[in-house]
Structure 1
Amino acid sequence: MSDKLTYKDSGVDIHAGYETVRLIKDYVKKTYTKGVMSDIGGFGGMFGIDKNEYEEPVLVSGTDGVGTKLMIAFKTDVHDTIGEDAVAMCVNDVICQGAKPLFFLDYIATGKLDPRKAADIVKGVANGCIKAGAALIGGETAEMPGLYGEGEYDIAGFCVGIVDRKKIIDGSKIVEGDVLIGIPSSGFHSNGYSLVRKVFFDHKNYNADDYVEELGCTLGEALLTPTKIYPKLILDLISKFEIKGMSNITGGGFYENIPRMFPEGITADIETKNINVLPVFKLLQREGNVDIDEMYSTFNMGIGMVLAVSKDTKDDVMEYLKNQGEEPVVIGYTSRREGGLKICHN
């Protein structure tokens, strides 16, 4: 008689899954807000909405991943920030409609589950949820031998936010002459890493642990800087001022993302002279001999979120952001003309 086979013989260890749940339980519970109605381990995450808080509640959802930034985590064997990126990529989208993030779910897939590595990833997710004010109410860890290489994994996330219908920010009030204010990013965020990797590792043969004087840290540390999480700042801001539109500067850089908030017939003229381009962008451009327009069509260049406000509101919004420890800059003005976004590099 042939030997009996088990699921573990195929490469899937369900006990590693049990151990992962044990390790992440405390991280997850730290994210719980008053709306959470379920505990870790259920088939579905439940979240109750306070009906007295909203007149006409609208749910806003977003989903995203981290992209090839994951490959920097593989190179450095640092995994406790990548989950924060997954959260940021979702909550920074839903806040653009004025929606408060309510809850988040993650999905982690790997070839062979390492409970401690998975716990590090979820620790990052939990930290991101706390920064965003969202509860981590569910997730999935999938072990799929043969699909991923040794030590490799992928992570994606899903966020749901809420906003009163009358308070939705959809850009419809933007008119010619409105001011565009940029709020700084923390670095590359989670975009453009295919080009980042090609320049630094394929073209220039850097190692992730190389110390780079102008960055003040190793290259790997700079590239793994977590994506900045904006919702708490923005929610406070929109409770005090009229913000006509918002754009999260993700993949596609300025050229693709800023126009997404404009109504038909409105575009903008951008001047980059006020932007504090972070050293890591300057290093990449120089080492890769990347054209300036290519940089602005791929990366955030140091501006992670763009707000559209009226001229009358601009000074107050700028002062408020500065009082919150931010360094906002005016990056341009809206206009009514034919053609797309124009960027002037002075």
Structure 2
Amino acid sequence: MESYSESYRKSGVDITAGYAGVKLMAPHVARTRIPGVVSGIGGFGGLFAPDLTGIREPVLVSGTDGVGTKIRIAQLLDRHDTVGVDCVAMCVNDIICCGAKPLFFLDYIAIGKNVPEKVAAIVSGVAEGCVQAGCALIGGETAEHPGIMAPEEYDLAGFSVGIVDKGDIIDPDRVRSGDVVLALPSSGLHSNGFSLVRKVFHVEHANLTVYCEDLGESLGEALLTPTRIYVKPVLAAIDAAEVHGISHITGGGFYENIPRCLPDGMTVKIEKAAVRTPPIFKMLRETGHIPERDMFNTFNMGVGMAVIVSRDTADQALSALAQHGCPGYVIGEVISGEERVILC
């Protein structure tokens, strides 16, 4: 007998829509299958058997995050196939900061009304993010929330697990005075600071689809550009060079995130003129009259990750990054000091 409840449907939850969504998302999930996946979607838990060959002391590393209020841009544009990439990126980009390789990912979608095609579009983005990160999508949950969320509203969060050999963990103790700071370019705003972004651009009333000469695309397209996933280039840099520190530049910008990979007594000195900042940040700063200090303390300013490497191996790191489609460049150095971050 098929699972169906007319009473539950009348309360606002259509469980059959959930089943339809699972069927539609199955091909997207299949794209992410990698060695180690034991179970398909639909079970009570996702099963994964990691290959521990060559790992002496395996350490599991976990990360969880969501897309935040960037979701509202997707809702306004009625485009839902990109925010899943953001969700994966915000988790796996954190995991690689300690040198771990992401293994698998799970998502959670809370939605006002379960429209199978919309849910499948969201999951297609999650799957694309997993493919870019080289990890498997092994499970998830879609929860219909009538009366709590409007029918067109939804939120998206995720969770990822990676693995690293204990002796290879990248921690602040590696960082030395004289190390070089490399910038890994962002694709734009990524998924941070959107409460301020939405306020500055009045997105609820703006025409987000009009072409903008300064951006080379519409404002909506610029805001919805998915977060860049750095897993493969960063792991390549770790193999090729002496990587001493990695910082994922998310909410809090340079001033909050870079110190997280520094030991006491060390400061990162960054040349502002060296930072390659996409046009969307200039438009945001000028439209919102935002002080420069606040910009660097809220947004990535074009630097999605900062990677600290030994000066002697900086060229090897840059070469490895470029070979994996991530053209990094030098923006500063590590010096002795207590100020943590200096922008000059």
TM above 0.5, yes or no, is yes
**Contact 1:201–1:207 (8 Å) recurs in 2:** no
SS of 1:172's partner is: helix
SS of 2:202's partner is: helix
**Contact 1:105–1:157 (8 Å) recurs in 2:** yes
Identity over aligned pairs, percent = 55
Question: Is residue 40 of structure 1 aligned with residue 37 of structure 2?
Answer: no
Q: Which position in structure 2 is the counterpart of 1:185?
A: 186
Q: Deviations over 1:276-318 (max 9, x none)?
A: 1101111111111111111000000001011111111123322
Report the Cα distance in structure 2 between the residues aligned to 1:124 and 1:277, rounded to whole angstroms. Answer: 26
Q: Which amino acid aligns with 1:287?
A: T
Report the Cα distance in structure 2 between the residues aligned to 1:49 and 1:67, rounded to whole angstroms. Answer: 31
Report the Cα distance in structure 2 between the residues aligned to 1:34 and 1:323, rounded to whole angstroms. Answer: 24
Shift of 1:5: 6.9
Q: Which position in structure 2 is the counterpart of 1:17?
A: 18
Report the RMSD for the aligned CA atoms in angstroms.
Answer: 1.5
Q: Which position in structure 1 is the counterpart of 2:246?
A: 246
Q: Which amino acid aligns with 1:310?
A: S
TM-score (norm 1): 0.95
**Pairing 1:1-346 to 2, within 5 Å after superposition:** 6-201=7-202, 206-344=206-344
SS of 1:244's partner is: strand
TM-score (norm 2): 0.96
Shift of 1:53: 3.5
Shift of 1:80: 0.3
Report the Cα distance in structure 2 between the residues aligned to 1:161 and 1:86, rounded to whole angstroms. Answer: 16
Shift of 1:239: 1.3
SS of 1:107's partner is: strand
Q: Which amino acid aligns with 2:266?
A: I
Deviates more, 1:138-147 or 1:316-325: 316-325
Q: Which amino acid aligns with 2:277?
A: V
Shift of 1:323: 4.2
**Contact 2:232–2:324 (8 Å) recurs in 1:** no
Shift of 1:339: 2.7
**Structure 2 portions without partners, runs of 5+:** none
**Contact 1:85–1:227 (8 Å) recurs in 2:** yes
Shift of 1:327: 2.9
Report the Cα distance in structure 1 between the residues aligned to 2:336 and 2:148, rounded to whole angstroms. Answer: 50
SS of 1:106's partner is: strand
**Contact 1:92–1:229 (8 Å) recurs in 2:** yes
**Contact 1:103–1:135 (8 Å) recurs in 2:** yes
Shift of 1:202: 6.1
CA distance 1:36–1:13, change in 2 (3 Å): same
Deviates more, 1:332-341 or 1:100-109: 332-341
Report the Cα distance in structure 1 between the residues aligned to 2:72 and 2:20, rounded to whole angstroms. Answer: 25
Q: Deviations over 1:81-130 (max 9, x none)?
A: 01110000000000111100000000000111110000000000000000
**Contact 2:237–2:316 (8 Å) recurs in 1:** no
Shift of 1:232: 0.9
SS of 1:239's partner is: helix
Report the Cα distance in structure 2 between the residues aligned to 1:304 and 1:5, rounded to whole angstroms. Answer: 48
SS of 1:109's partner is: strand
Report the Cα distance in structure 2 between the residues aligned to 1:14 and 1:315, rounded to whole angstroms. Answer: 55
SS of 2:167's partner is: helix
Deviates more, 1:63-72 or 1:322-331: 322-331
